[in-house]
Each structure stands twice: as C-alpha cells, then as structure tokens.
Amino acid sequence: MGRKRYRPFLLALIAGYAVTFGFDASLSGADPSTDPFVALRVSRVPTGNPLETFDLKALDGGTLRSADLIGKVVLLNFWATWCGPCKEEMPSLGRLQEHFDSARVRIVTVTTDIYPQGIRQFLDQLAIRLPVAFDEDQELSRKLSVRGLPTTLVIGQDGRIVGRAVGPRVWDSSESIAFVRHVLATDTP
C-alpha cells in the first residue's frame, strides 16, 4: 500500500525532471540526430507567439527596437554579469554571430544590470561585440516569461517566437550552427 501512494509523485517528479533538463524529446520519440531543436535542447513554441513590442536603451547609447529585428532570425539572450552560466556562454554567442551575416541573423543580448561600465569591461575583456540592451525595470523579461538566466528566445524572420532555451548552451557548436541554419531555411518573412 505504501508504494502505491508514492507512485504518482515519483512519475510526476521524473516527468518534471525530463522536461526541465531537455529529455522530453526522447520521451516523445523525437530524434536528436534529425531534429535541431532536440539536439540543442530548445523547446519549440508551437503557437508562434509574436515578439512583444519593445524599445530598450542600448549600451552604445542608441535604442534597440523590436521593429528593427523583423526580417531576421534573432537569438534574444537574457543575461546578467552576476550570472556565472551567462558569463560562460557569452563568448560562444559572440562566435555564433561571426558565422552569420548580421543582415540575416542577429544575436541580441538583454540585461537587467544597471552598471554600463561593468558590462563594457566584461565585454571588452572577452572581446565580445554583441548589442546589449537594458531591461532595467524587467518589463520585457516579465512579458516574455523569463524566469531564469540565461534564457534565449529564438525569433523567426516573421517576428514570432519559435523556440526557448533555458540555461546555458554552447552556441558556436556545430549543433547550434545547424539549428540557426534550420530556422533560416524553414522560416519565411
């Protein structure tokens, strides 16, 4: 009798672990060798929600507008300098951008940090040249349900969110490059 009481709890715990750590695809029968989303552990956003409209102050003094990203595949990465995994994955995001024409693919970072000098020092130290936008009041983060850092949203050329990656990735890996190429090939503006 005691074991039967815990069975639903254990099944829920295992399912939660599988979804959290990206093993849900293996449970659904998706093949990581043929599905770039599965290979990179990026959750699909089936409804293709449109990206929230935003105008954010940028580190370079300009403004980053969501309207300026339409027509490109965008990886919108939410991070902070105090987040260890964020800092570890940032160089690979910079290297991923080097593989693609910025007229077609844009890697854009969004931070809630409020100290521009510290961000500049961090980026300069690692020779990273990616746009940084400030979400100081975390309004965009809330609208996009960013609950943990790093979180990367994949936005198609039509401005709709097609995927979400929670946690760090090696963005310049062959799987990541294949993933971006897949989104470019399957997504039309």
Mean pLDDT of 20-28: 41
The residue type of 44 is: R
Report the predicted TM-score, pTM, of the whole model to 2 decimal places.
Answer: 0.82
Domains in the chain, CATH or no CATH each: 1-30 (no CATH), 31-186 (3.40.30.10)
Strands 132-134 and 105-111: parallel
User: Which tens digits make up the pLDDT trace of 59-108?
Assistant: 999 999 999 999 999 999 999 999 999 999 999 999 999 999 999 999 99
